[in-house]
Amino acid sequence: TIPYIPELFAQDYLDQILGPSLPRTPGPEGKKIIPNEPTNAFITAFKEEGNKSRNCNDAPAFASTFNPVLDAFSTIDGNTPGKHIHRLLRESWAESPEKTLRIIWNLRSIHDGKASKMNFYRAFGWLYSNHPKTAIGNLQLLVDQVIEQKPKPKKKDEDKEDYALEEEDFECTSVDSDALGKEAFQPSSLSHGYYKDLLNILLLAYYNQLSSSTEDFTALESPRPDFTQENGAKATRRRKNRQTAKAEKRKENGGKKVCAKEVAEYVKKTQLKASRAAKKARSDQAFDDHTKLINKLKTNPAFKALYIAVSRIFASSLESDIKILREIVKAESKKEKRRLKWKLTMAAKWAPTLQCSHDRHTNIATGIALVMYSNGALEGLNKQLRIDDKITEVDAKLLRGFWRRWILSPLRRYKEVIEAKMSAGEWDSVIYTQVPSLSFARNKEHFAKHDETRLSSYLEDVMSGEMTISGATLPPHKLVYEAIATARTLDMYSKSDLERLREQERINRERKKEELLQRLRSMGSGLRYARVVEGKISSGTRFLIYMQMPPLPFARNKEQFFKHDEARRILDTA
């Protein structure tokens, strides 16, 4: 359960919790240049010399651009330490709050920006600590489809300058193409992040790690079991010695069967004892987490507003999706089903599963279900629940169970979530053309192990050009890392298959590179080439690509990154 939160059902919850925004007068964009301003030659030379530096390749460089906004945009990436991120954002915000917001969202943007998830959490944590209303009010723009998407050109138009992404490049999966016909549909817009970002941010705030510039995000990491730790050659030698000693002891005590019976009884007692201890530990942890959640919701207004925002964003998306799903069921033509299919979001895929990682700590599923119930979206729930007081434990279980059975499950089944099929062992039903690029790169070995025949057939079709493979969301350095990792795993195959696999991997890399270049071309105004200026290993993700880009270096649409309408009072006073 969660405590009674009246603001959970209010549209103006931000004003109620954090107070109304103060009137804000926009400041000048950058420093004004005064003509014929008197200067001192010695001071000017002193500043210029002091700004000279060396990069990681020992090449001449400048330490600063003397513009805090430009410094923040050019410096903050996936490798920037947290303390530098906070300092750069603080200086940039003093210069231009609007552009600083764009820089923060550009850091996360998968399709339009630097696609750095962890450092975006650092940057958002700074915004959450210093301007909570701005951070929470713009949280919706992480998952809203605000990046305009150009239509995919037909094959006969491939020589034209404009390019677009393919269906598989989005953070989504779709239903079987045979069930909906062969005609391809694609979304007209994309989002900067994905719905799991909302849950990750909430969990970090719950553990007081979101606002820190140096603390590791341990809340997002699962502890590794001790028996999986690598202890080197000494551990292997000790294990072999133990196995030898056990074998000799079995011979002395009457043979393998007698020892096996004794071992089975010992293991049974040990497991029962461990199970009881683990159950008690889980119960104690659940009680501590619930107590901590109640205290934070009562004493921390910013966390309370964040909790409500995440609940309402998920509830709104799931309400819309379940309505669309009902329309799909009623639709008679396949064309109408295809059109409606692309309106579905990925909220159901990333919504918190009951009693799993995010919901176990924050009970966020209860908040989502309460918002949907108050909006009348849980049709069919016979029992009348009170939302003007704290919900009881019995009612909370009923509400959560109904939400899972009639909202999450139907949407997840229809979306054919890849991870759900993998968990259920339904490898033969995985549609490889619909597997996102990151998922395919991470799970390729599992696909090869459980579904080698279909995977090989799919890769051969990719080689021949009959099918496509997702790759537009992978940055260049990830393609290089993937190639290196794949080369190391090819040694396990026989020589007869080695050449074929190498050729498959080469073709796959070429296809993914083409998808990446196609996406980059679609972002500019049509240049047919991309010249890599600096792509050394020591440069990390800093691949500088010369292209003719839109006026703002980090936005194609002025309104796509944040809301700054004074009537809505989203932006805090700078």
Mean pLDDT across 454-478 = 73
β-strand pairing of 189-191 with 545-546: unpaired
> Is residue 105's pLDDT more than 80?
yes
324's enclosing H/E stretch is: helix 301-330
Q: What percent of the chain has pLDDT over 70?
A: 70
Residue-range definition of the domain harbouring residue 290:
242-297
Mean pLDDT across 212-235 = 73
Q: Which of 260, 276, 297 is the last residue of a domain?
A: 297
How many whole angstroms separate alpha carbon 412 and alpha carbon 408?
A: 6
Q: What is the pLDDT of residue 254?
A: 67
CA-only gyration radius of the chain, Å: 28
Q: Does one domain contain both 61 and 145?
A: yes
Mean pLDDT across 353-368 = 93
Per DSSP, helices labelled H in 357-475 are 357-362, 364-374, 393-403, 409-415, 418-423, 437-450, 452-464
Local confidence band at 488 (pLDDT 50, 70, 90 cut-offs)? low
Q: Does one domain contain both 542 and 506?
A: no
Helix axes 117-130, 196-206, angle to 10 degrees: 60
Name the least confident of 215-219, 525-529, 564-568: 564-568
Local confidence band at 471 (pLDDT 50, 70, 90 cut-offs)? low
Per-chain mean pLDDT for the chain: 78
Q: What is the pLDDT of residue 318?
A: 97
Q: Which of 264, 297, 330 is the last residue of a domain?
A: 297
How many whole angstroms separate alpha carbon 370 and alpha carbon 256?
A: 59
End-to-end CA distance of the chain: 38
Q: Does one domain contain both 70 and 112?
A: yes
pTM attached to this predicted model: 0.78
Q: What is the pLDDT of residue 25?
A: 54
- Count CB atoms within 10 A of the CB of residue 79: 11
Has residue 439 been placed in a domain? yes
Has residue 477 been placed in a domain? yes
> Is residue 119's pLDDT more than 50?
yes
Has residue 154 been placed in a domain? no
Q: What is the pLDDT of residues 147-180, one digit of tens each?
A: 887 665 554 444 433 333 333 333 333 333 333 3
Residue 61's DSSP bridge partners are 53
Q: Does one domain contain both 434 and 555?
A: no
Q: Does one domain contain both 82 and 101?
A: yes
Mean pLDDT across 431-448 = 82
How many whole angstroms separate alpha carbon 18 and alpha carbon 515?
A: 45
Q: Tell which residue, 183, 153, 114, 128, has the closest CA to residue 307.
A: 128
Mean pLDDT across 513-523 = 69
Q: Which of 523, 548, 564 is the last residue of a domain?
A: 523
